Structure 1
Amino acid sequence: MSLTLIALATAAATHTVQIDHRGTPVQATYSARAEFRTKTVGAKTPNRMDMQRCQWTATIMVDRALSHGPAHSRTISSDREFSGSEHGACTPGRQSGERNLAQHEGAIREHLISVAEADQTPLLTELDAVRNLASN
């Protein structure tokens, strides 16, 4: 059984930066969210100990939103993953990945900040392209 869930990471997983684009301040908010994939592995046989495990993988996605409109809102590609496993089968209400991901909150925050820093040049390039397109 394989199950995919999309959930928001903790509320603290946002980062806001303000950049100057040709004399105009632009505020960009970066938010982390996690996409969870779970898979039950192992066997459950009668008269024996349950050998099933719930393996989970959380892929961290970073979404960017600008203060002056949704036109430049997008998901920034990032490939940070966390994984683990717990005893027992994966069930929809179990949420083992969400519970265990909380212990990685510091690493998620660091990843979010590094993605925001790396996105400054592409963001300025996008804003320049839109400005040039609008002036034509």
Structure 2
Amino acid sequence: MSLTLLAIAAAAATHTTHIEHRGASVEAIYSARTDIRMRTVGAHTPNRMDNRRCQWTATVIIERQLSGKPVLARTLHGDRPLSGSQSGPCTAGTRAIDREIAHRDDAIQAQLLAVAERDRAPLLAELDAVHNMASN
């Protein structure tokens, strides 16, 4: 059985940066959330011990918003998914998985900062392209 959930365990992970572009300051706001995919493995048979496990993987998704420029919003992905395993079926362990991801907030924040730093050059290129299109 496979179960997919979208959790907002990393809703508190945000980062704001200011970029100077052609004499104007542009504020970029990066927000992280996690997309959790779960899969129950193992079997549960009557009169035997339950040996099912929930294997989960959480991908960090970062959304970029620019102040005053909703056209340049973009969704970026972190480079290192988080993963783990929980005893029992996935339907019974969703709260425990959310808590485990919340305890890994430092890893989510590190990915958020790394993605924001890597996005600096592409963001400047997008701002230049929009400026060039507007001036034509």
| Separation (CA, whole Å) in 1 of partners of 2:60 and 2:10 | 12
After the TM superposition, which of the residue ranges 93-102 and 50-59 deviates more from structure 2?
93-102
SS in 2 for 1:63: strand
Residue matched to 1:121: 121
Is 1:56–1:96's contact at 8 Å kept on the other side of the alignment? no
Residue matched to 2:109: 109
SS in 2 for 1:99: helix
Residue matched to 1:87: 87
After the TM superposition, which of the residue ranges 81-90 and 92-101 deviates more from structure 2?
92-101
Deviation of residue 92 (structure 1)? 7.2
SS in 2 for 1:125: helix
Deviation of residue 9 (structure 1)? 3.1
Q: Give the structure with the larger strand fraction.
A: 1
- Note the alpha carbon deviations across 1:99-135, whole angstroms, 9 max, x for none: 2111211011011011101111100000000000111
Residue matched to 1:6: 6
Is 1:57–1:97's contact at 8 Å kept on the other side of the alignment? no
Residue matched to 1:73: 73
Is 1:58–1:97's contact at 8 Å kept on the other side of the alignment? no
Residue matched to 1:53: 53
Q: Which runs of 5+ in 1 are unaligned?
A: none
SS in 2 for 1:79: coil
Is 1:16–1:30's contact at 8 Å kept on the other side of the alignment? yes
| Separation (CA, whole Å) in 2 of partners of 1:102 and 1:20 | 34
Is 1:21–1:124's contact at 8 Å kept on the other side of the alignment? yes
| Separation (CA, whole Å) in 2 of partners of 1:100 and 1:93 | 11
Q: How large is the RMSD of aligned CA atoms in angstroms?
A: 1.5
Residue matched to 1:30: 30
Aligned residues: 136
TM-score using structure 2 length: 0.93
